[in-house]
Structure 1
Amino acid sequence: MTAEDALTLFDDVGPPVPPEVAVDDRLLRVPRIYAEPAAAASPRGRQVITRFPDAEVLEVPSHWQIPELHGNAGNVDRWVRVKTETLVLGVKKSLAARPNERSANWIAPSTANGCAMACAYCYVPRRKGYANPITVFTNIDQITGYLRRHVARQGPKPAPDQCDPVSWVYDIGENSDCSVDAMVSENVADLIATFRGLPTAKASFATKYVNRQLLDLDPAGRTRVRFSVMPERDARVLDVRTSRIGERIGAVDDFVEAGYEVHLNLSPVVLREGWEDDWTALLEQLDDVLSPAAKAQAAAEVILLTHERALHEVNLGWHPQAEELLWRPDLQQPKRSQNGQSNVRYRSDVKRAGVAQLTALIAEHAPWLRIRYAF
């Protein structure tokens, strides 16, 4: 059915929310939306459908059960096209905050899964098979209600930790990029508004896309944006369909001024010939560009590359150039991740030396940049 037909079919739930937010058509030109019936009928689902008025809406029993997408190896050669042309609407069935204690204290229930960008090292495509376009979870009121109750149960944070000295930190974007999600629905705006009213907690998400519409959301210091950065030489190959590194760095001051806490993810650190010189140049760029106010509140996560054999095989089908950087059996060893995935990472001796070298470069060229953790 067309978007108009879908809205008519479910018109008993009230008028759709108008599409206030501009959508970057370089990332999303959506002719089809797969939707669970309950998701399409919800106010948030209707908002998404209204935002893409030319899309055909296809009913599916579950956002996990779409044969055209999930496990379809034929989609490898359409990797980027699927991300551009497809959205999914679903209802988040299980609501739970998972302990993390690395980047955040808790991983919040997802309000989206998948991404319109196509970073070659991203682990999220493994969750639903090939391509994994954006799935919007439309039961946002249930999710934000759960988060408010969860935060209340924690009480005040008893002691500082590497996540934050005062507040409980909730990662709201583990399986998606919130800056892109904010173009598709108001879920991210609702999350930022929720944490604005929670004095003992703050939201956090990493991003590789500069969405300046987020500057209007008044986070009041309760949302941390972590801009991921790497040398441009690596990003041109690996960060497909993302904002350029210079654009991300250039946005930091504006986000600080708008009331966000802004950190930097130095991630992923790819060890290859000449990496030290390129990271030195990036750190000098950060030191030159960022304002004193941005530097005063900045902190960094240093994350060396983790990869995975199945994703390596997928990448060979659509972007083999990336694997020249990512797949280094001479330097890598098996690793079991926190979430149980079987990955590969740099050998312990190689990784230890890489972390030490980058840490020394930060101390020399950006001494104001506090390292929250490095691994």
Structure 2
Amino acid sequence: MTNAGAPDDAVEPSGAPPRRWVPRHVLVTRSAALLPHGAQMLARCEAAGVRDVAVLAGDRLPSLRGSEREVYARAKQTLAVVVAPPSALRPQPIPPSADWRLDLAKGCPAHCQYCYLAGSLSGPPITRAYANLDDVLAPIPGHAGRGSVTTGDARRGREGTTFELSCYTDPLGLEAVTGSLSTAVARVGRGEFGDGVGLRFTTKFDDVAPLVGLPHGGRTRVRMSVNSAAVAQRFEGGTATVAARLAALRALAADGYPVGLTVAPVMPLPGWREEYAALLRDAAAALAGIPAPDLTVELITHRFTDASRAVLLGWYPRTRLDLDESARTVKRTKFGGAKYVYPAPLMRELRGWFERELAATLPGARLLYWT
């Protein structure tokens, strides 16, 4: 059940406005403009005050020109409303988070200097929002009861077959100009796709007002991506503060949503024990007074690849992010690639510390996985 009476100050702490992304440039392909949801996104952008809106004559996006930094800056200020291609409409397994991945969009407006999308998406980081939302959601019934993460799992099976919405984007960060997330949450919450399915997404934004009061039916788990003060302040540009994210988490929990913390990427910077301990205490304080919140925790350590490092150094040439492979261990992926992770002794130390601190500080939380 939802609680539409969640206090306003839980959504916007201390009267501060929530962090909203409004693009400077909007490109709408011809096919996207013809779809009802595409037209709604176009109207949202215009209502948000975007002046540079172009409805294209065709379905190909124009190339961006300039230096790598200039192209990056322009791309990060651009929203493209497009039609998802057939390849994006086939759910893919996404362990350990969920059974399947669904993409409402691809690309993110934030400026996180460790961005894992850097090695996953090709070309300039334009955010592409999908206008054919009905097609994106259509595979859900056909995948219900199938999957290897939550479906049939003794610990997580009560969530049903789960669909991750934030693999390639931050859907809440786009919500003001797309409306896609609230539409998906409400449709799944009303049971349009059956009772045994659920949505999940993680976010670094705090504008949860569009979600509070929706008929979510407890079928969407919202996780706030949080980190230590040093990581958040140094590497997470263009996002809501961690304090604002935790206040938003409280508003969602008060409204009956299952909620979670995604502590990612865990980085053992100087003073990491004290800072992560403070983070967990802040999370506990944010949820104080909420009766038995359904809270999960996911712990993801920092890692990078040769490809992502090259892209990130092009985007953020002055970054202080540790990208020294000599201090890491090489881990092979199932596709034969290599990623650089922390050495095994440090990983054991980090994991043991977090498990102890979580048990002491957030004893009601369920740790879903460590990676």
Q: TM-score range by the shorter chain?
A: 0.7 to 0.9
**What is the aligned partner in structure 1 of residue 284 from structure 2?**
287
Task: Indicate yes or no: 2:302 matched with 1:309.
Answer: no
The residue matched to 2:237 in structure 1 has which SS? coil
Contact preservation (8 Å) 1:335, 1:342: yes
Which segments of 5 or more consecutive residues in structure 2 lack a partner in the other structure?
Answer: 1-16
**What is the aligned partner in structure 2 of residue 17 from structure 1?**
none
Q: TM-score, normalised by structure 2?
A: 0.83
Task: Indicate yes or no: 2:194 matched with 1:187.
Answer: no
Structural mapping, 1:154-165, within 5 Å? 159-165=152-158
Task: Indicate yes or no: 2:113 matched with 1:120.
Answer: yes
Which segments of 5 or more consecutive residues in structure 1 lack a partner in the other structure?
Answer: 1-22
**What is the aligned partner in structure 2 of residue 274 from structure 1?**
271
> Which one of 362, 369, 374 corresponds to residue 370 of structure 2?
374
Change (3 A) 1:136 1:120: same
How far apart are residue 234 of structure 1 and its match? Answer: 0.9
> Which one of 346, 351, 355 corresponds to residue 359 of structure 1?
355
Structural mapping, 1:1-375, within 5 Å? 27-33=21-27, 35-53=28-46, 54-57=51-54, 59=56, 66-68=62-64, 74-94=67-87, 95-108=89-102, 110-151=103-144, 159-196=152-189, 197=191, 198-212=194-208, 213-293=210-290, 296-322=293-319, 324-337=320-333, 342-375=338-371
Rounded Cα–Cα distance in structure 2 between residues aligned with 1:73 and 1:222: 44
**What is the aligned partner in structure 2 of residue 20 from structure 1?**
none
What is the CA RMSD across the aligned residues, in angstroms? 2.8
Rounded Cα–Cα distance in structure 2 between residues aligned with 1:274 and 1:305: 17
Rounded Cα–Cα distance in structure 2 between residues aligned with 1:217 and 1:338: 39
The residue matched to 1:165 in structure 2 has which SS? helix
Contact preservation (8 Å) 1:237, 1:321: no
Change (3 A) 1:316 1:100: closer
Q: Judge which range, 88-97 or 114-123, deviates more.
A: 88-97
The residue matched to 2:206 in structure 1 has which SS? coil
Contact preservation (8 Å) 2:119, 2:305: no
Question: Structure 1, residues 41-79: CA drift from partner, whole Å, max 9, x if none?
Answer: 21122222222333332537656x6432xxx78233453
Change (3 A) 1:281 1:39: same
Q: Which has the higher helix share?
A: 1
Rounded Cα–Cα distance in structure 1 between residues aligned with 2:85 and 2:214: 24
Rounded Cα–Cα distance in structure 1 between residues aligned with 2:232 and 2:74: 20
Contact preservation (8 Å) 1:166, 1:200: yes
Rounded Cα–Cα distance in structure 2 between residues aligned with 1:219 and 1:79: 36
The amino acid that maps onto 1:102 is P
Rounded Cα–Cα distance in structure 2 between residues aligned with 1:339 and 1:61: 35
**What is the aligned partner in structure 1 of residue 12 from structure 2?**
none
Q: TM-score, normalised by structure 1?
A: 0.82
The residue matched to 1:228 in structure 2 has which SS? strand
Change (3 A) 1:77 1:359: farther
Question: Structure 1, residues 273-327: CA drift from partner, whole Å, max 9, x if none?
Answer: 22111111111222223124366411101111122233323333343454x3331
Rounded Cα–Cα distance in structure 1 between residues aligned with 2:125 and 2:68: 10
Higher relative contact order (CA 8 A, sep 6+): 2
Change (3 A) 1:235 1:80: farther
How far apart are residue 102 of structure 1 and its match? Answer: 1.2
The residue matched to 2:67 in structure 1 has which SS? helix
How far apart are residue 359 of structure 1 and its match? Answer: 1.7
